[in-house]
Amino acid sequence: MMETGERRVALVTGGTRGIGLGIARALARDGWSLALCGVRPADAVRDVLDELHDSVGASSGARGGEVDYAVADLASTADRARLVETVRARFGAVHALVNNAGRAPRVRADLLEATEESFEEVLRTNLQGPYFLTQRIAALMSAQKQTTPASTAAIVFVTSVSAEMASPNRGEYCISKAGLAMTTKLFAARLAEVGIPVYEVRPGIIATDMTAGVKDVYDRRIADGLIPERRWGTPEDVGRAVATLLRGDVPYATGTVLHLDGGLAIPRL
């Protein structure tokens, strides 16, 4: 953990499972206080919250770390507003926002058969939600920087190789991630003048609940050389990368896209 003299608070959306949990664990090891959100009730994630609480406490030297969880559907304008107010009331400030929460289509449908309902559901969660949550949090961070110029702040968008690689059986997902990649650029350009870096972390094929249904398919494709590193990515891989960015170990790099895909996106013959 960096010795900054201030308690650092990170809001991680979808931070109790999958990639989000990998990120939360990495930040907990660095001593960040964590504000997490998801759609599951608090009782369903109690074990995870207790684990993170102990990890933050061990890292910071405090008796028990500060970890808070709010039920929030990022597709809902009301839920986003309530989430921001809950975090403000609990912690007073936000020093990092990690836009991680997202959803896959309920049905992988061919591009010629996909429905508007699926498109709207995925886009509201994966793109509209983080876009307007970032708008709110960025305003708070900017105000913090005005009153306390030495205060740290940073934003990370977790996208996907699907931002640039086409999957015609889940077009709405690809479009949502491509839009999120542009969202990173927009906020990076807007917030640079106030000293808030914005990064995109672009994972490849990561072993999570979302990919469990296609595990056998990708096991075979990875064995056949789809990924140069010849393995699945892990939530820990992504968590360590996000923690590095939020520690400030990659300065002068706002708008950077960090590929975590084992070389999947390398053009090859």
| C-alpha of 67 from chain center | 17
| C-alpha of 8 from chain center | 17
Domain that holds residue 38: 9-260
Sequence-distant (6+) residues with CB within 8 A of 245 are: 154, 156, 197, 199, 201, 258
Would 205 be classed as within a structural domain? yes
Would 141 be classed as within a structural domain? yes
Would 138 be classed as within a structural domain? yes
Range 128-150 average pLDDT: 97
pLDDT at 250 over 80: yes
Would 196 be classed as within a structural domain? yes
Q: Specify the DSSP class assigned to residue 30.
A: T
Largest CA distance in the chain: 56
Would 268 be classed as within a structural domain? no
Let me know how long the chain is: 269
**pTM for the model:** 0.95
pLDDT at 93 over 80: yes
State how far the Cα of 66 lies from the Cα of 27, in Å rounded to an integer: 12
Catalytic, 173? Answer yes
- Structure confidence at residue 63 (pLDDT): 47
How do strand 33-38 and strand 67-71 relate by DSSP bridges? Answer: parallel
Cα–Cα separations (whole angstroms), residue 116 to 108, 173, 263: 13, 13, 33
- Structure confidence at residue 65 (pLDDT): 64
The residue type of 111 is L
Beta-bridge partners for 177:
none
User: For the chain, how many structural domains are there in total?
Assistant: 1
- DSSP string of 53-89, one letter each residue: HHHHHHHHTSSS--EEEEE--TT-HHHHHHHHHHHHH
Which run of H or of E encompasses 222?
helix 215-223
Would 269 be classed as within a structural domain? no
Sequence-distant (6+) residues with CB within 8 A of 46 are: none
Choose the catalytic residue: 131, 173, 218, 252.
173
Q: How confident is the model at residue 3 (pLDDT cuts 50, 70, 90)?
A: very low
Q: Specify the DSSP class assigned to residue 209.
A: G
- Structure confidence at residue 5 (pLDDT): 57
Range 194-207 average pLDDT: 98
Would 21 be classed as within a structural domain? yes
CATH number (domain holding residue 212): 3.40.50.720
Q: pLDDT (tens digit, 9 = 90+) per residue, 164-189? A: 999 999 999 999 999 999 999 999 99
Would 1 be classed as within a structural domain? no
